[in-house]
Chains A and B, each alone.
Chain A
């Protein structure tokens, strides 16, 4: 097996164009598991960790451009205030060791339906910047996930970055696992308020073949909020609204039974997560400053 170590992104793209079968490796926290379990035997690994461009983040127009190779620990430490949803999801990934190595680019590359950043990227309308020797294109997160562990990359493409707007309003992420840490999600949910657009982003994870936006829930809530003029003069949400939002969020899923949980449990838990995360986010928006535990469920 070859281990290719490009030092620039251009060099990496050239290799990928010439040998599309090479497997990129960033933090390696997915790739090495696959090799270890003999799930795949690539002819070559393309090490992306020496490419400085990938490990940087910076403002780009009115968005933030986060390099594909920025590890979770830096998202938490450096971007927690501007990308709170992504930082919350990052905090729930694996263990400190995994957060030191693992990257959003890797999460996207693996495209597991259970990847923790996906619901946040969907709820926040993130764009995935992908590149090849042919050029660069932007793929909206909602069009990126094609199937179980399948994404919209062409064989010669690499993920360069994700672009997200700095949060203008509260965002929340919540995950149910089979233990308190070091778990693949049983299901997860993200919600992001977009008052400037008068809408809410919502997405489910680990409850369908791909991460998915909960469109009916988004539309329902946008309608409720604008009908009641709540964006302009925020008041606590009616329980019935939160409940309906939860139900619609759960309906967005098409979960299966597996070793981590049953489909029925996932549907139930998604409704709870959606209701709660909305409650927390809305409470922040109202600026009541109440603690989460008093507001939840």
Chain B
């Protein structure tokens, strides 16, 4: 039987999603629910001097208006809670859009009406909202969970001094926001001292933990449910204040409360990709061998948190270089705390991949050849293999399909009529973490299997892929298997972020399913009524819901037969901790530039990745499509604009914040090396974030090839190309 894993199985939840059957947090209907709304600050820094809620309280239907004076006291949870403070606990304002009041009413409209009537007076202090506002204020933050903020290997100064050719340039990108289609929602329902949270989160277990800390209640009194998520991209991986406030308000009022953030509130109530600036210096010998990589970056931090999210591991993980210096500086600004956004490793790689393209021109060397010359599979931190051994194969797969060998490297050498055509490429790379997970599998007397794991499907296809994993391990058809997730009552798993879900969860699901299968085989061979009675368990295989003796396939039983005779379901659990690793690939991009208007269209994208064994070609390809298209936005259009005078975001909506639309999406081809990773029981590596990490650089490099213009400040808007 051909394996289920790998097949381009359509999404098992697809029908529910397109017919409205999938219930997202905001769709949760709870009898007697009340509606919460946030009133938010209009200054970025200072204190509230007075807050008058009289008019708001008088709006019909208003149940309560909480301010920092009346809000229940909460504990500020430690990291990984990312804010460093809980709003509505004191009068201090840390950023524009910070909640200053929480209104609860019978209807949403009443709550919104009341929120607009709250009169807040501030003592405002001057705010700084851009790196340029705070020259000289950058500092080296203390080590974070990923380690120190500075990495030195070898002698970078000597490496640069000995270089035959050098590139030294500064690359920058603005604040970006995630913009998942589902804005974050929380429905908090208390029953005595038990709390149920219907939540838009990429991590139900983290939500349980952080809410318990904030409310000072035992973790096991909280149940978090996230059966579906309308995209996250990192914005819903941490727990943000609106969740804590909603849980607290619902407890205080003894009423269920629903809060759905508006699109505009998403721009200040969850994280963002910090404004980023990096000076990249690379040197190479005549033959292209890198002699030094130096990446000194600076990025926005908030005044209440100093964790660095745009990290530079690509400086030492992708290319072998004897001399490396990476330094991650930060500068505190009066903005919300930044966080990770698919992918936090992207911004640094974008600079490196643009610098390498520049270096290839300095050296007169093909950019692919330059990368092949230097790629490494060894981590200089510890000398261990990192799983980057198939980058050359990715470069070849994608490069051949793209037709890279036909490229004339001279800028402005390719035209079609009036349009300039450019081809560019970049390596793509992302690490994935190790996360423990557990799963439970039950085989019922009707021969159906139910698998459960407290993981999430953030739109990436967890339901589908884990149904495949379970079915394959059991030897059952997919339609006999049901996989459930998104409930903290299920065995725990980690967050669905950092490209870790499949790599982590597939291990425990596979183990639990195999244990359940083995238990059924054990029942069969011990059962005098089974045709398999007395057989050696290791001579039995399971396929299509049946158990066969390998030596004599006429002796067979079925899951249904064995378990129904047993009279009760068979269950088993499995736990797994995946090995962390690194996933790389390459993207090749064609652009067409209208030189008179500076208009860029990305017309073709070809990419290849080593993601271990491809679990599902359809969902894997979807990750590439999403990453590529988002990379077009990153390179050409996306930019959160913050007014320097008012510290307000001026484009907090999908009309002003320009994500790519269909007409911006190129034709995309995706290839996979498809070799099982030996550290995973099912062969999976982490994937998800790698596609996008190099795309902006590949586009910028293609624009250089088309026009001869090197634009190092993203996004590359049309005015910059005139």
Question: CB within 8 Å of B: which residues of A?
Answer: 33, 38, 95, 176, 178-184, 186, 259, 261-262, 264-265, 268-269, 272, 293-294, 296-297
Q: Mark B413-436, 1 if CB is under 8 A from A, else 0.
A: 000111100000000000000000
Interface residue B656 (Cβ < 8 Å from any Cβ of A): yes
Residues of A within 8 A of B663 (CB): 179-182
Cross-interface CB contact of A265 among B601, B651, B719, cutoff 8 Å: B719
**Would you mind naming 21 contact pairs between A and B with Cβ atoms under 8 Å apart?**
A33-B655, A95-B661, A176-B718, A179-B658, A180-B601, A180-B664, A181-B661, A181-B663, A181-B664, A184-B655, A186-B718, A261-B719, A262-B719, A265-B719, A265-B722, A269-B597, A269-B718, A272-B596, A293-B417, A293-B419, A294-B417
Question: CB within 8 Å of A: which residues of B?
Answer: 116, 416-419, 596-599, 601, 636-637, 641, 650-651, 655-656, 658, 660-664, 717-719, 722
A95 to B664, CA, bound (A): 13
Residues of B within 8 A of A176 (CB): 597, 599, 718
A182 to B664, CA, bound (A): 10
Residues of B within 8 A of A265 (CB): 598, 718-719, 722
Residues of B within 8 A of A182 (CB): 661, 663
Instruction: Establish whether residues A179 and B637, one from each chain, have CB atoms under 8 Å apart when the complex forms.
Output: yes
Given known contacts A186-B718, A259-B651, A296-B418, what 9 new A-B pairs fall within 8 Å (CB)? A178-B637, A179-B636, A180-B661, A180-B663, A181-B661, A181-B663, A259-B656, A293-B417, A294-B417
Residues of A within 8 A of B417 (CB): 293-294, 296
A272 to B597, CA, bound (A): 7
Please judge, given known A-B contacts A179-B661, A293-B418, whether A268 and B722 are in contact too, CB under 8 Å.
yes
Instruction: Establish whether residues B641 and A259, one from each chain, have CB atoms under 8 Å apart when the complex forms.
Output: yes
Cross-interface CB contact of A178 among B601, B658, B722, cutoff 8 Å: B658
Residues of B within 8 A of A297 (CB): 418, 596
Residues of A within 8 A of B637 (CB): 178-179
A259 to B637, CA, bound (A): 12
Q: Which 8 A-B pairs have the closest CB atoms?
A: A180-B663, A181-B663, A293-B417, A265-B719, A272-B596, A182-B661, A180-B664, A181-B661
Chain A residue with the shortest CB-CB distance to B651? A259
Residues of B within 8 A of A296 (CB): 417-418
Chain B residue with the shortest CB-CB distance to A178? B658
Cross-interface CB contact of B664 among A179, A184, A186, cutoff 8 Å: A179
Chain B residue with the shortest CB-CB distance to A265? B719
Residues of A within 8 A of B601 (CB): 180
Shortest A204–chain B CB gap in Å is: 15
Residues of B within 8 A of A33 (CB): 655
Residues of A within 8 A of B655 (CB): 33, 184
Residues of A within 8 A of B651 (CB): 259
Cross-interface CB contact of B660 among A95, A179, A186, cutoff 8 Å: A179
Residues of B within 8 A of A262 (CB): 719
A184 to B116, CA, bound (A): 29
A181 to B663, CA, bound (A): 6
Chain B residue with the shortest CB-CB distance to A275? B596
Residues of B within 8 A of A261 (CB): 717-719
A97 to B546, CA, bound (A): 51
Shortest B599–chain A CB gap in Å is: 7
- Total number of residue pairs linking A and B with CB closer than 8 Å: 57
Chain A residue with the shortest CB-CB distance to B636? A179
A262 to B661, CA, bound (A): 23
Instruction: Establish whether residues A181 and B662, one from each chain, have CB atoms under 8 Å apart when the complex forms.
Output: yes
A65 to B16, CA, bound (A): 46
A181 to B654, CA, bound (A): 13
Chain A residue with the shortest CB-CB distance to B719? A265
A178 to B664, CA, bound (A): 11
A9 to B639, CA, bound (A): 45
Shortest A110–chain B CB gap in Å is: 14
Residues of A within 8 A of B661 (CB): 95, 179-182
Residues of A within 8 A of B416 (CB): 293
Shortest A292–chain B CB gap in Å is: 9
Shortest A96–chain B CB gap in Å is: 10
Shortest B628–chain A CB gap in Å is: 15
Instruction: Establish whether residues B650 and A259, one from each chain, have CB atoms under 8 Å apart when the complex forms.
Output: yes
A257 to B11, CA, bound (A): 46
Shortest A289–chain B CB gap in Å is: 16
Shortest A172–chain B CB gap in Å is: 15
Instruction: Establish whether residues B418 and A178, one from each chain, have CB atoms under 8 Å apart when the complex forms.
Output: no
A181 to B659, CA, bound (A): 11
A182 to B660, CA, bound (A): 9
Residues of A within 8 A of B656 (CB): 259
A296 to B637, CA, bound (A): 25
Residues of A within 8 A of B596 (CB): 272, 297
A269 to B651, CA, bound (A): 24
Shortest A168–chain B CB gap in Å is: 29
Shortest B420–chain A CB gap in Å is: 12
A269 to B598, CA, bound (A): 9
- Between A180, A183, A268, A294, the greatest number of chain B beta carbons within 10 A of the residue's beta carbon is seen for A180
Residues of A within 8 A of B722 (CB): 265, 268
- Between A182, A186, A294, A296, the greatest number of chain B beta carbons within 10 A of the residue's beta carbon is seen for A182
Chain A residue with the shortest CB-CB distance to B417? A293
Shortest B321–chain A CB gap in Å is: 38
A181 to B660, CA, bound (A): 9
Residues of B within 8 A of A178 (CB): 637, 658, 717-718
Residues of A within 8 A of B641 (CB): 259
A118 to B118, CA, bound (A): 41
Chain B residue with the shortest CB-CB distance to A180? B663
Chain B residue with the shortest CB-CB distance to A273? B597
A178 to B661, CA, bound (A): 11
Residues of B within 8 A of A268 (CB): 722
Residues of A within 8 A of B597 (CB): 176, 269, 272
Residues of A within 8 A of B660 (CB): 179
A186 to B722, CA, bound (A): 15
A176 to B721, CA, bound (A): 14
Chain A residue with the shortest CB-CB distance to B596? A272
Shortest A176–chain B CB gap in Å is: 6
A258 to B306, CA, bound (A): 33
A269 to B597, CA, bound (A): 6
Residues of A within 8 A of B650 (CB): 259
Residues of A within 8 A of B719 (CB): 261-262, 264-265
A118 to B718, CA, bound (A): 24
A180 to B418, CA, bound (A): 18
Chain B residue with the shortest CB-CB distance to A262? B719
A186 to B596, CA, bound (A): 15
Shortest A237–chain B CB gap in Å is: 17
A297 to B418, CA, bound (A): 8
Chain A residue with the shortest CB-CB distance to B633? A179
Chain A residue with the shortest CB-CB distance to B263? A36
A269 to B661, CA, bound (A): 22
A95 to B663, CA, bound (A): 10
A181 to B722, CA, bound (A): 21
A180 to B597, CA, bound (A): 13
Chain A residue with the shortest CB-CB distance to B662? A181
Residues of B within 8 A of A180 (CB): 601, 661, 663-664
Chain A residue with the shortest CB-CB distance to B660? A179
Residues of B within 8 A of A38 (CB): 116
A272 to B721, CA, bound (A): 14
A7 to B596, CA, bound (A): 50
Shortest B438–chain A CB gap in Å is: 44
Shortest B593–chain A CB gap in Å is: 13
Chain A residue with the shortest CB-CB distance to B416? A293
Shortest A220–chain B CB gap in Å is: 21
Residues of A within 8 A of B717 (CB): 178, 261
A75 to B445, CA, bound (A): 63
Shortest B368–chain A CB gap in Å is: 29
Residues of B within 8 A of A259 (CB): 641, 650-651, 656
A269 to B655, CA, bound (A): 22
A38 to B109, CA, bound (A): 12
A272 to B658, CA, bound (A): 24
Chain B residue with the shortest CB-CB distance to A258? B650
Chain B residue with the shortest CB-CB distance to A276? B596
Shortest A187–chain B CB gap in Å is: 10
Shortest A149–chain B CB gap in Å is: 16
